[in-house]
């Protein structure tokens, strides 16, 4: 086998976003596009000779092609071993676990997460470091810089690995081990949760539906929920991974999981519904007659985590992304533990988790996780919910209401305007940013006084790094907030995300319709930012 050095020319657009490089498949399949990016990653790493690299993805279209390329490039660059999931499958949290468990140098996670797949859909590549988490900005910036000047990459003239065959193969001097994608992850879950109690819950007739959305969590959910925990066959629906997600949109929200939502709102429906996204790191939780917003879910899981064996000693602290509601802050305050507000994206939680400053993290975008891995983890959240329901012997609705009666309720919604003209979106954000200094102290709308208005800058308390321009926040004296930022995961035009939040005290009204409860703030946000007028859109593309 010979190592080949292939000449290439750079692409100018390989800048990783919130969660790795995400582009249309048609972009990724350009000549040397994958090769350039993977070589740029390796060029930004140190001391990888002989080390272990993990590779896996969510099984979407182009996953297998990109994996074969990455394996050859890894072999040519001198990695000692690649661990790859069978058929190229590893959910994002499972990949994080494999990196940690086998002490790999890092891993390539191939996914565009909740974005649609297929030949016309999206693909993505993300590098995770040795703690199992997404590479910090220092590395992603180095990769981008390298990708702009790269002039060659290394590969080997070897054939494809048989990704279906579990066991050891070789590419030149490098060992490739194809591993069971589920086994290590299932074992980890068993150490965290009271599986006996959850088995008892299912045996008592508790009924659940889990929608894997034809994405990566199917095999994990089948093995854990129906296999180990004894949930009835049929509990998992859409459980076979499909390269196009069965032509669906693998984002577990109330738009793409509307059928499940409707089912949970009917008297004869199941007790509990859950779903996960393309790569298995997001979760949707719906109890009978009760949708749990992701921000509330984070607060509830943090408040009840001690009911699961993995967290019985209590949690060290909580972190949430800036746009996530402040519901979790009230839990941290009551528990007397640390609370951190970070920019959007899981890469900002890694340092806090590594330093044991926090145990549980979450984002309003349906991501929750803990220090068991360094990614958000969809099935983990579902299992923790089941553990809590089994121990408390209450319905999801009762648990949520009880939480609000203790801590108060943070009414919360997110309005997305997708595929907006990028020029218009950028100008909108720039103009609002320019208006911020004049806002504090003003009374806006009916009776809302601005307490602060800024563009969020994060100072990482662990490594001292600073991340600026992370989203506009306008906070009011009654605890309400308007947040506006541009998405860093979209692949066409720009996506504007508008986040709205209003606090209602523990003895206040907790049964209002969310959109109505937030209507004055929604109107005020539109007045301040001019979203409708500037974009010409009369309503958001997605409301979560
Ligand atoms: C979105 C979410 C963010 C999440 C990111 C990756 O980013 O808002 O909370 O971490 O997706 O999630 P953005 O920049 O589009 O708002 V996943 O499940 O797509 O890896
Ligand atoms: Co995801």
- Fold agreement (3-180, 185-407): yes
Query: Which residue among 124, 125, 345 is best mutated to probe the pocket of ligand 1, counting the most ligand atoms within 8 A of its Cβ?
Result: 345
Q: What is the pLDDT of residue 149?
A: 97
Q: Is 68 in the pocket of ligand 1 (CB under 6 A)?
A: no
Q: Is 128 in the pocket of ligand 1 (CB under 6 A)?
A: no
Q: Is 413 in the pocket of ligand 1 (CB under 6 A)?
A: no
DSSP assigned state of 135: P
Q: What is the pLDDT of residue 490?
A: 75
Tokens of 35: 């090769």
Q: Is 222 in the pocket of ligand 1 (CB under 6 A)?
A: no
The fraction of the chain above a pLDDT of 90, given in percent, is: 94
Contact status, residue 516 vs residue 226, Cβ threshold 8 Å: no
Distance from residue 508's CA to the centre of ligand 2 (Å): 35
Calpha distance 327→247 (Å, rounded): 35
DSSP conformation letters of 470-531:
--EEEEETTS-EEEEEE-SS-SSSEEEEEEEEEEE-TTS---S-HHHHTHHHHHHHHHHH-H
Task: Judge if pTM exceeds 0.90.
Answer: yes
Which candidate, 395, 379, 97, 378, places its Cα nearest to that of 227? 379
The catalytic site residues sit at 113
pLDDT in tens, the chain (544 residues): 789 999 999 999 999 988 899 999 999 999 999 999 999 999 999 999 999 999 999 999 999 999 999 999 999 999 999 999 999 999 999 999 999 999 999 999 999 999 999 999 999 999 999 999 999 989 999 999 999 999 999 999 999 999 999 999 999 999 999 999 999 999 999 999 999 999 999 999 999 999 999 999 999 999 999 999 999 999 999 999 999 999 999 999 998 999 999 999 999 999 999 999 999 999 999 999 999 999 999 999 999 999 999 999 999 999 999 999 999 999 999 999 999 999 999 999 999 999 999 999 999 999 999 999 999 999 999 999 999 999 999 999 999 999 999 999 999 999 999 999 999 999 999 999 999 999 999 999 888 999 999 999 999 999 999 999 999 999 999 999 999 999 988 778 899 999 999 999 999 999 999 999 999 999 999 999 999 999 888 899 989 8
Query: In degrees rounded to 5, what are phi and psi of residue 181?
Result: -70, -20
Ligand (nearest to CA of 470): 1
Q: Is 324 in the pocket of ligand 1 (CB under 6 A)?
A: no
Of all protein residues, whose CA lies closest to atom 2 belonging to ligand 1?
A: 365
Our CA dihedral for 307, 313, 317, 323, rounded to 10 degrees, sits at -10
Q: What is the pLDDT of residue 493?
A: 84
Q: Is 277 in the pocket of ligand 1 (CB under 6 A)?
A: yes
Q: What is the pLDDT of residue 61?
A: 97
Of all protein residues, whose CA lies closest to atom 20 belonging to ligand 1?
A: 113
Q: Is 487 in the pocket of ligand 1 (CB under 6 A)?
A: yes
Distance from residue 117's CA to the centre of ligand 2 (Å): 13
Q: Is 211 in the pocket of ligand 1 (CB under 6 A)?
A: no
DSSP assigned state of 393: T
Of all protein residues, whose CA lies closest to atom 9 belonging to ligand 1?
A: 365
ipTM score assigned to the predicted complex = 0.97
What residue spans define the domains of the chain? 3-180, 185-407, 409-543
The CA-CA-CA angle for residues 401, 414, 121, to 5°, reads 120
Which residues are placed with Cβ below 5 angstroms of ligand 2, an ion?
113, 277, 279, 281-282
Distance from residue 199's CA to the centre of ligand 2 (Å): 28
Calpha distance 436→43 (Å, rounded): 41
CA atoms within 13 A on the CB side of 467: 19
Q: Is 491 in the pocket of ligand 1 (CB under 6 A)?
A: no
- Starting at the edge strand found earlier in the chain, the sheet holding 283-287 runs 236-237, 208-211, 272-276, 283-287, 290-292
- Residue 386 backbone zone (phi > 0: left; psi -120 to 50: alpha; other: beta): alpha
CATH level 2 (architecture), domain 185-407: 3-Layer(aba) Sandwich (3.40)
Distance from residue 41's CA to the centre of ligand 1 (Å): 21
Of all protein residues, whose CA lies closest to atom 16 belonging to ligand 1?
A: 487
Atom of ligand 1 nearest to the CA of 488: 14
Calpha distance 408→401 (Å, rounded): 9
Please give the C-alpha separations between residue 62 and each of 28, 251, 265, in angstroms, as whole numbers: 9, 19, 38
Rounded to the nearest angstrom, the gap between the alpha carbon of residue 84 and the centroid of all alpha carbons in its chain is: 21
Distance from residue 376's CA to the centre of ligand 2 (Å): 8
Query: Which residue among 19, 324, 494 is best mutated to probe the pocket of ligand 1, counting the most ligand atoms within 8 A of its Cβ?
Result: 19
Span 257-309, pLDDT tens digits? 999 999 999 999 999 999 999 999 999 999 999 999 999 999 999 999 999 99
Question: Class of 3-180 per CATH?
Answer: alpha beta
Distance from residue 339's CA to the centre of ligand 1 (Å): 21
Q: Is 414 in the pocket of ligand 1 (CB under 6 A)?
A: no
Calpha distance 50→55 (Å, rounded): 16
The CA-CA-CA angle for residues 308, 309, 312, to 5°, reads 85
| SS3 sequence of 13-78 | CCCCECCEEEEEHHHHCCCCHHHHHHHHHHHCCCCCCCCEEEEEECCCCCHHHHHHHHHHHHHHHC
Query: Looking at the domain that runs over 409-543, which CATH code has it been given?
Result: 3.30.310.50
| SS3 sequence of 515-526 | HHHCHHHHHHHH
Span 208-239, pLDDT tens digits? 999 999 999 999 999 999 999 999 999 999 99
Distance from residue 279's CA to the centre of ligand 2 (Å): 5
Distance from residue 366's CA to the centre of ligand 1 (Å): 9
Atom of ligand 1 nearest to the CA of 92: 20
Atom of ligand 1 nearest to the CA of 115: 19
């Amino acid at each position: 086998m010979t190592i080949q050095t292939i000449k290439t020319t750079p692409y100018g657009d390989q800048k990783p976003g919130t969660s790795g490089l995400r582009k249309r498949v048609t972009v990724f399949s350009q000549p040397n596009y994958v090769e350039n990016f993977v070589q740029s990653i390796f060029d930004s790493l140190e001391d990888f000779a002989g080390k272990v690299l993990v590779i896996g993805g969510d099984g979407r279209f182009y996953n297998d092609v990109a994996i074969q390329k990455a394996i050859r490039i890894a072999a040519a660059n001198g990695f000692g071993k690649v661990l790859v999931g069978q058929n190229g499958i590893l959910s994002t949290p499972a990949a994080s676990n494999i990196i940690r468990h086998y002490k790999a140098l890092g891993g390539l996670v191939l996914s565009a997460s909740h974005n649609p797949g297929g030949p016309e859909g999206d693909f993505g590549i993300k590098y995770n470091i040795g703690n199992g988490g997404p590479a910090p900005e220092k590395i992603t910036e180095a990769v981008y810089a390298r990708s702009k000047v790269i002039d060659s990459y290394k590969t080997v003239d070897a054939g494809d690995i048989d990704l279906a065959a579990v066991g050891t193969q070789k590419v030149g001097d490098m060992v490739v081990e194809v591993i069971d994608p589920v086994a290590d992850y299932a074992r980890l879950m068993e150490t965290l949760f009271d599986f006996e109690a959850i088995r008892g819950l299912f045996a008592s007739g508790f009924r659940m539906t889990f929608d894997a959305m034809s994405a990566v969590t199917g095999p994990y959910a089948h093995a854990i929920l129906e296999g180990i925990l004894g949930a009835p066959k049929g509990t998992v629906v859409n459980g076979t991974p499909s390269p196009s997600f069965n032509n669906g949109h693998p984002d577990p929200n109330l738009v793409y999981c509307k059928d499940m939502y409707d089912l949970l709102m009917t008297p004869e429906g199941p007790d509990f519904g859950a779903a996960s996204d393309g790569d298995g790191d997001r979760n949707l939780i719906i109890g009978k007659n009760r949708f749990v917003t992701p921000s509330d879910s984070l607060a509830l899981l943090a408040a009840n985590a001690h009911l699961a064996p993995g967290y019985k000693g209590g949690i060290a602290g909580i972190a949430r992304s800036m746009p996530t509601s402040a519901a979790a802050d009230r839990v941290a305050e009551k528990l007397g533990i640390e609370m951190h507000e970070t920019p959007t994206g899981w890469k900002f939680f890694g340092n806090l988790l590594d330093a044991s400053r926090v145990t549980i993290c979450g984002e309003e975008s349906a991501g929750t996780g803990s220090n068991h891995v360094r990614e958000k983890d969809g099935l983990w959240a579902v299992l923790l919910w089941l553990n809590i329901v089994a121990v408390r012997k209450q319905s999801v609705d009762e648990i949520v209401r009880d939480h609000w009666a203790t801590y108060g309720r943070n009414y919360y919604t997110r309005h997305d305007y997708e595929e907006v003209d990028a020029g218009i979106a950028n100008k909108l954000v720039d103009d609002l940013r320019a208006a911020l200094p004049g806002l504090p102290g003003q009374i806006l709308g009916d009776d809302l006084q601005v307490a602060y208005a800024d563009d969020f800058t994060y100072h990482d308390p662990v490594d001292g790094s600073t991340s600026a321009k992370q989203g506009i926040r306008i906070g009011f004296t009654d605890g309400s907030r308007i947040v506006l930022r541009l998405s860093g995961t979209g692949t066409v035009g720009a996506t504007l995300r508008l986040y709205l939040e209003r606090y209602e005290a523990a003895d206040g009204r907790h049964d209002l319709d969310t959109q109505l409860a937030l209507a004055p703030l929604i109107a005020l946000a539109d007045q301040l930012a001019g979203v409708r007028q500037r974009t010409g859109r009369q309503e958001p593309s997605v409301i979560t």
